[in-house]
Chains A and B, each alone.
Chain A
Amino acid sequence: MALRAGVLHRRPRLRLGLLLGPPMLWLGVLYLGSLAALFITSLWSVDAFGGNIERIWTLDNYRDLFTIDVYRTITVRTLLIAAAVTIIDAVLAFPVALYMAKVASPRLQRILVIAVLTPLWASYLVKAYAWRGMFASGGPLDAVGLSPGYGLAATVLTLSYLWLPYMILPMYAGLERLPNSLIEASADLGAGTGTTMRRVVLPVLFPAAVAGSIFTFSLTLGDYIAVKIVGGANQMLGNVVYDSFLTGNNLPFAAAVATIPVAAMLVYLTAVRRTGALDSL
C-alpha cells in the first residue's frame, strides 16, 4: 500500500493521468466522439426507400440545407425565438435575483432559492401541457382576454417559463458575490441608484447573465416539444431533426440539420469569449 502510494508520489505525471484519465475519456470519447459521429453521419445519405444508410461521402445534405428556402426560414425563426426567450428571461430574472441576493433576509433567501428550484422537479411535459391549457380558448388567459392563442408567442412564453430558473440562478450567484460595501461606497460617493446600477451592479451582473443566456439560448435552440404542444402549426429546427429522423428515416439529413444549432452555439460562444465574460465566470 505504502509502496503504491510512493509510486504515485514519485510520479506526478502518472498521478495526473490516473486522476484525469476517466473524465477525459468521458469527455473525449462519449461527448466529443458523439459529436464527431454526428458530423460523419451528416456526410452520408440514405437509399430511396429510407432506413438503410449508404456510406458514401456526399455534401448533398448540406446543399439541400443551403438551397432550400424553408430551412433558412426555420433557422432564422429558431434563432429569433431563442433570442426572445433569452431577453425575456434576463429581464424577468434580474429583479428576482437582485432581490434574492441583496434585499431578502437570509431565511427568505433560502426559501426563494427553493421556490426557484422547485419547478425544475416537475416534468417538462406536465408544465408544457399546463401552458397548453392556459392558452386554450376559454382557458384562464383567454378569460381575461390575454391569450395570444397557440403560436410563436405562446411558444416563446412557455419556453421563457421553462428556462427561467437557469437564468435566475447564475444571476443570483453573481450578485451574491458583489460585496454590499461596494454599493454603499458608491452611494457615499454621491452616485444615484441609476449610476450604481450601471457602474457597479451591471459589470458584475454581465458575466452572470452571459452564463445564464448560454443555458436559455442553447436549450431553446434544441427544443422541439414545447412548439408541438403550444406552437400551433409552427416548427423549429428540433422538429426538422425529429421529422427527418423518425418520419423520414433520414438520419444523415437529421445530422446535417443538427449541426446548425452546434454552429450557432459556437459562434455565440466565440462572441461571448471576445467580450471577456467567460474569464470572470
Chain B
Amino acid sequence: MRRSTITRAATGAVLALVLTGCGTSSGDDDGGGGGATGSEEQGGFTAPDIEMAESLGDNEGTLSVLAWPGYAEDGSTDKSVDWVTPFEEGTGCQVEVKYFGTSDEAVSLMKSGQYDVVSASGDASLRLIAGGDVAPVNTDLIDNYADVWSFLKDRDWNSVDGQMYGVPHGYGANLLMYNTDEVDPAPTSWSSVFDDAGTYSGKVTSYDSPIYIADAALYLMNTQPDLGIKDPYSLDADQLAAAVDLLKQQREHVGEYWSDYLKETQAFKTGDSVIGTTWQVIANLAQSEGATVEAFLPDEGSTGWSDTWMVSSKTEAPNCAYAWLNHIVSPEANAAVAEWFGEAPANEKACDLTSDGFCESYHAGDEAYAEKIHYWTTPIEQCLDGRTDVTCTTYQDWTQAWTEIKG
C-alpha cells in the first residue's frame, strides 16, 4: 500500500515535469535563434544586427571579465604580475574575473549574458558573432588600436564585412615539439606526426580537440593538392573524410592526447611522449623543468590562435568595457600579458617593454611568420574559402568526427 502511494507520487512529479517540458517546446520555437535575422553578409554568413557604441560616457564602476587563464591577472597569482589593479585605479571600474578552459566553455558562458567582455579565440569568435552574443566594436573609440599590427586587423575571425568585432590581443602558433635525445634525425616537417608517425609509434601526442582536424587538413593541403583544400577550416564532406582517415592512421601511433599543458609537460619529461604538437609556453615550461625538448614551426606552416577581446551585446557597462579593451592593448598591459601567457603581443609598442629577446623568440610582428599560421576559425556551413557550390562541414560534424577518430 505504502509502496504504491510512493510510486504514484513519483510518477505524478515526473509527469508534471514532462508536461512542463512539452509546454516550453511549443511556446518557444521561434523565440531564439538571433542568427536568423541579419543585415550584414560575408560569404553567405549573416551577422545579426546589433548596435555599435557611437560615443563614450562616464564609467559605470564595475566590469565583469570572461578570460583565458592568465589573461586578467590582478596580482593574486604572482604579486609582480598585475595589470588589473592599474586599470581599476585608472578608470574606477571594479573588475570581476571569470576564467574558462576551452573556447566551447567561453561560448556557453557568454550566452548567459553575465559578462561584459570576453577574450575569444578564432574558433569561438564567429560563433559569438553569429549567436548575437557580442556587439561590433567602434575602434575609433579605442586609442591604442592604432598601434596594433595591421596584419591582425580585419581578419576572418575578428570582423565581418570590414566591421571589427573586437581588438586583437595576441597570437601564437601550434608548434612541433620533439625530444632531442630520442628523436633522431631532428624532424623538419609535420610528416613526422602523420605519414611517418610509425617511427615513434605509441609516443606521438596530439591536441585533444576537434579543432586539431585542421592540422591534418593543413598537412593534406600541402601533400595532396588533388583534394583541393584551400583553407583548413573549410572542408567539404570528402575533404573532411580524408582528414579523418589521416587522423585515424595517426591514432594507431598516438600514446595519448593532451588538453591541459601540465599533462603534456609531464609526458615529455618522462618520455611517454617524444613528438607532437605543442605551444611555445609549454615548450618553455618543459625546458625549464629539465626536459630535453625543442619546438619549432615547420616550413609548411601551422595552425595557431589569434585572440580578440570582444564586448557583450548585453553589457550594462559599455564604457568600462571599452576602457578595458583600450587598457588591455596598451603597450604596458599587452607586454605584461604576452610575457606571462607566452604569446606574441598585438601592440607593436609592447615589444619595447618586454624582456630582451622575448618578441624575437615569439616572432612578434614578423609578418612572414604570422602568415604561415592558419588561425583557429570556427568551421561553418558556408565555406570560408569562398566556394559556393558545396556546403562545408560544421564544428558539430568535426566534434562527431573527433569522437570517431579516437574510437
Contact = CB atoms under 8 A, between A and B. Distances in A.
Contact of B255 (A232, A243, A248): A232
Interface in A96-113: none
B327 interface: no
B39 interface: no
Interface string A61-73: 0001000101101
A233 B18 contact: no
B407 A37 contact: no
A115 interface: no
B224 interface: no
B68 to A, nearest CB: 15
B251 interface: yes
A250 B127 CA distance: 14
A48 B394 contact: yes
A24 B202 CA distance: 52
Contacts of A139: 270
A55 B29 contact: yes
A246 B104 contact: yes
A243 B211 CA distance: 12
Contacts of B108: 51, 246, 249
A27 B10 contact: yes
Interface in A24-66: 24-25, 27-29, 32-33, 35-37, 40, 44, 46-57, 64
Nearest to B132: A52
Nearest to B204: A233
Interface in B100-149: 102, 104-105, 107-108, 111, 127, 130-131
B17 A138 contact: no
Contacts of A37: 17, 21
Contacts of B18: 36, 40
Interface string B1-28: 0000010011011100110010011001
A247 interface: yes
Given A51-B127, A136-B270, A33 B17 contact: yes
A73 B33 contact: no
Chain B CB count within 10 A is highest, among A37, A136, A137, for A137
Interface residues of B, number: 52
Given A49-B380, A51-B127, A137-B271, A248 B399 contact: yes
B272 A33 contact: no
Contact of A233 (B29, B270, B406): B406
A233 B32 contact: no
Contacts of B9: 24, 28
Contacts of A244: 399, 403
Interface string B379-407: 01100000000000011100110111011
A243 B403 contact: yes
Q: State the main secondary structure of chain B at its contact with A.
A: helix
Given A68-B404, A243-B403, A247-B209, A138 B270 contact: yes
Given A55-B24, A73-B407, A247-B102, A48 B17 contact: no
Contact of B395 (A35, A73, A248): A248
Interface residues of A, number: 53
B10 A233 contact: no
A149 B407 CA distance: 19
A32 B10 contact: yes
B266 interface: yes
Best-surrounded residue of A27, A52, A132, A248 (most CB of chain B within 10 A): A248
A28 B12 contact: yes
B12 A240 contact: no
Contacts of A40: 18, 21
Contacts of B107: 50-51, 249
Contacts of A25: 13
A150 interface: yes
B256 interface: yes
A186 interface: no
B187 interface: no
A20 B8 CA distance: 13
B10 A28 contact: yes
B14 A32 contact: yes
B35 interface: yes
A28 B14 contact: yes
A125 to B, nearest CB: 11
Interface in A133-153: 136-139, 149-150
Contacts of A232: 254-256
B251 A233 contact: yes
A51 B131 contact: yes
Interface string B251-270: 10011110100010010001
Contacts of B10: 24, 27-28, 32
B131 A70 contact: no
Nearest to B208: A228
Contact of A137 (B130, B272, B378, B395): B272
Nearest to B272: A137
B21 A137 contact: no
A25 B17 CA distance: 13
A235 interface: yes
B13 A33 contact: yes
A199 to B, nearest CB: 34
B92 interface: no
Interface string A174-197: 000000000000000000000000
Nearest 8 pairs of A and B residues by beta carbon = A28-B13, A248-B399, A40-B21, A55-B25, A136-B270, A70-B404, A233-B254, A28-B10
Interface of A: 20, 24-25, 27-29, 32-33, 35-37, 40, 44, 46-57, 64, 68, 70-71, 73-74, 132, 136-139, 149-150, 228-229, 231-235, 240, 243-244, 246-250
Interface of B: 6, 9-10, 12-14, 17-18, 21, 24-25, 28-29, 32-33, 35, 102, 104-105, 107-108, 111, 127, 130-131, 202, 209-210, 251, 254-257, 259, 263, 266, 270-272, 378, 380-381, 394-396, 399-400, 402-404, 406-407
21 contacts: A25-B13, A36-B17, A44-B25, A47-B33, A50-B394, A51-B107, A51-B108, A52-B35, A54-B29, A55-B28, A68-B404, A149-B255, A229-B263, A232-B254, A233-B255, A235-B403, A235-B406, A235-B407, A246-B105, A247-B402, A250-B399
